[in-house]
Amino acid sequence: MRTVRTIAEVRAAVADGRTAGRSIGLVPTMGALHDGHLSLIHRARADAGLVVVSLFVNPTQFAAHEDLGAYPRSEERDAELASDAGADILFAPTVAEVYPHGFATTIHVAGITEVLDGKHRGAAHFDGVATVVAKLFGIVAPDAAYFGQKDAQQVLVIRRLVRDLDIPVRIVACPIVREPDGLAMSSRNVYLDPASRRQATALNRALDAAQATVTGPDTGATIVLAAAHSVLTEAGIDPEYLELRSPDDLTELDTIGDGALLAVAAHVGQARLIDNRILEAP
């Protein structure tokens, strides 16, 4: 695997791959790689001839009160993991390379960024995500890009970005990867002390409890949400949000219908965690 730092370098490396007739797969990450990230790299490796993994902690998607300074960073470890998983190129630019002096453009995806994480983290969060992903697509020009379903709202935002701007990239959403006890893998799990780590498993158990209430498409949101809230309350967790939304456009749902996204966010110990489940009628 080759590590490159500049836009010119990664473009040249990708151009060499295209000349050789290889398709390009991109896995955007902020580092602190775990098995969830590695599953994306494995999928890209299976699909693409050349796999590019970006490693960039994007400052524009962090609010002033969030954990930009504390976000876990370990490039040497990440490079080893990415290489072992099958990456060909690690693109690890500086902030100045991505946002040079005078950078003044922001992309805003309207309609699906005002709810859930957009409501609680602020509109600037998804503006930062959309802008940096658009830049990565412009720099690497991948045939396909791979994202984790744990960030379900982010996946929808990126799909809308690609659709609206006619960017020729296939977006591949890969399943959530969980710890043996059900906790969704996240780079922020390192913030959890042992007690908080045990408490955090309630998020997935709440999703399980909600799914267990679904008896048909007419199952109401009130029943579903009450089951999930009960598990969280018992674990001492007051969710930032717990909502039943359309998996297509994030409109709020009253019933399961043809399928519903149950999304949750909560502060557990020192970590802010998110999780979700697509609920379907049996």
> Cβ atoms within 10 A of the Cβ of 110, count?
10
Residues 6+ apart with CB under 8 A from 58: 30, 98, 128, 129, 132
Residues 6+ apart with CB under 8 A from 154: 117, 126, 129, 147
**Is 37 noted as a catalytic residue in this protein?**
yes
> Cβ atoms within 10 A of the Cβ of 166, count?
6
37, 101, 120, 125: the catalytic one is 37
Q: Do residues 184 and 273 make contact, with C-beta atoms less than 8 angstroms apart?
A: yes
HEC sequence for the chain: CEEECCHHHHHHHHHHHHHCCCCEEEEEECCCCCHHHHHHHHHHHHHCCEEEEEECCCHHHCCCCCCCCCCCCCHHHHHHHHHHHCCCEEECCCHHHHCCCCCCCCCCCCCCCCCCHHHHHCHHHHHHHHHHHHHHHHHHCCCEEEEEHHHHHHHHHHHHHHHHCCCCCEEEEECCCECCCCCECCHHHHHCCHHHHHHHCHHHHHHHHHHHCCCCCCCEHHHHHHHHHHHHHHCCCCCCEEEEECCCCCCECCECCCCEEEEEEEEECCEEEEEEEEECCC
Q: Please give the positions annotated as active site.
A: 37
